[in-house]
A and B are shown apart, each in its own frame.
Chain A
Amino acid sequence: QVQLVESGGGVGQPGRSLRLSCAASGFSFRRYGMHWVRQAPGKGLEWVAVISEDGRNKYYADSVKGRFTISRDNSKNTLYLEMISLRAEDTAVYYCAKDRVAADISSFSYYYYGMDVWGQGATVSVSS
């Protein structure tokens, strides 16, 4: 079945770094854009970043731009989120999610449609 499994969460001090991984299975990973979404304690959902199916197109929320890097390895069916200069406000459960629609390889543009499959979440806690 289609599955996403995050790993790499934990506790980090402000200013330190963490890397999240998301292992995908049950679908053709290389055909889909992938997202990271987070939820801080007691707060709503916040979209964090997206990467195109080929890794060439990336977009970030302003709150993480310049500090977080989304990447993927299609040979390993794995999505990553590298987080540096962590802040207390980055404390959240981080979800990886698959875009709803497979990329159109005939298109010269990148389109994204929202998230239809989600991982179970990885907890990141930033505290001194």
Chain B
Amino acid sequence: DIQMTQSPSSLSASVGDRVTITCQASQDISNFLNWYQKKPGKAPKLLIYTASNLETGVPSRFSGSGSATDFTFTISSLQPEDIATYYCQQYDNLPFTFGPGTKVDIK
């Protein structure tokens, strides 16, 4: 199975700050990577697909980049409603695997 790691595991930032999360795959997954937002009590929400494509309706402050084994997720200007846990997920091979998540908080 492909293992996904994320860093940091948690972070605190101020409103308006730029936030960056990294995700690493245990093998080359090309650009077959998605990013999800998960808030407590809510269903996960797809934000970015195929590493860098913004899902319809998602604010443009969210972005993604990377390929092969190294990926980056960025919130260009953190907003209060962005408080959540963010997960990367590979779909190059079954079983799909998620990263352990990055919890984002407001400082």
Contacts and interface: CB of A to CB of B under 8 A. Distances in A.
Interface of A: 35, 37, 39, 44-47, 50, 59-62, 95, 97, 100, 112-116, 118-121
Contacts of B87: 44-45
Q: Is the interface of A mostly helix, strand, loop or mixed?
A: strand
A35 B94 CA distance: 12
Interface residues of B, number: 23
B43 A59 contact: no
Contacts of B100: 44
A100 B50 CA distance: 11
Contacts of B16: none
B45 A118 contact: yes
Q: Max chain B CB contacts within 10 Å: which of A37, A45, A95, A116?
A: A45
A47 B98 contact: yes
Contact of A113 (B43, B49, B85, B97): B49
Nearest to A57: B94
A20 to B, nearest CB: 15
B49 A37 contact: no
B87 to A, nearest CB: 5
B101 A44 contact: yes
Contacts of B99: 44
Given A44-B100, A46-B98, A100-B49, A114 B43 contact: no
Nearest to A117: B46
A47 B97 contact: yes
A35 B49 CA distance: 16
Nearest to B34: A114
Best-surrounded residue of A44, A46, A112, A114 (most CB of chain B within 10 A): A114
Given A59-B94, A115-B46, A118-B43, 11 more contacts: A35-B96, A39-B38, A45-B38, A45-B101, A47-B98, A50-B94, A100-B34, A100-B46, A113-B50, A115-B44, A120-B43
